[in-house]
């Protein structure tokens, strides 16, 4: 009977991985919540891992490459930690991702700002604070935000109404 459950757990794991790549922890949680025993879940994880269908290193690297031009490093790191990755694994994934892609937080901040405001824009104090707060919520450091705003010539116009 356990052999039959193992086969079903393997099929379920393969089904789940066909839909999208998952972390080992995500796949384990899904199998356990589907009612498979710990033994069958581990057998399924071993099976898919042995064929290279499950790789947390690959998942983390692809996740970083997918989001590094849209999200701050802090936000990406937090997302990966929530998915069960250690700080060391995240650091290694960043190193691997940087071998293929350049990444600059300040360039990302600048492109985000330029989507809304042209260089040299004078904003009301309220709009300026809102822009800073928005970027800060995305995980960018206040130091980088201030530097980029200065580089782009985005200033506060105290004569403008809030």
- 152's tokens: 């782009």
How much is the pLDDT for 1? 57
Q: What is the mean pLDDT of residues 82-95?
A: 93
Instruction: State residue 36's pLDDT score.
Output: 94
Q: Could you read off the pLDDT of 17-37 as tens digits, one per residue? A: 999 999 999 999 999 999 999
Segment 46-71, tens digit of pLDDT: 999 999 999 999 999 999 999 998 89
pTM of the model: 0.74
Q: pLDDT tens digits, residue range 90-133?
A: 999 999 998 888 888 999 999 999 999 999 999 999 999 999 99
What do you get for the CA distance between the two ends of the chain, in Å? 70
- In the chain, where the domains are located: 2-50, 56-98, 105-156
Q: Looking at residues 42-46, what average pLDDT do you find?
A: 95
| SS3 of residue 124 by DSSP | coil
Give kind and range of the element (H or E) at residue 122.
strand 122-123
> How, if at all, do strands 155-156 and 122-123 pair?
parallel
* Mean pLDDT, residues 60-86: 92
Token pair belonging to 55: 């790789």
């Amino acid at each position: 009977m356990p052999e039959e459950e193992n086969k079903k757990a393997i099929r379920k794991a393969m089904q789940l991985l066909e839909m999208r790549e998952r972390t080992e922890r995500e796949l384990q949680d899904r199998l356990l919540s589907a009612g498979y025993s710990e033994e069958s879940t581990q057998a399924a994880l071993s099976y898919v891992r042995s064929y290279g269908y499950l790789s947390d290193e690959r998942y983390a690297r692809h996740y970083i490459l997918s989001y590094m031009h849209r999200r701050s490093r802090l936000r990406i790191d937090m997302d990966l930690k929530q998915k069960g990755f250690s700080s060391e694994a995240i650091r290694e994934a960043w190193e691997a991702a940087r071998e293929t892609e350049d990444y600059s937080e300040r360039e990302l901040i600048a492109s985000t700002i330029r989507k809304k405001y042209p260089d040299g824009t004078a904003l009301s104090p309220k709009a300026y604070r809102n822009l800073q707060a928005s970027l800060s919520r995305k995980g960018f450091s206040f130091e980088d935000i201030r530097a980029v705003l200065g580089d782009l010539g985005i200033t506060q116009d105290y004569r403008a109404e809030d």
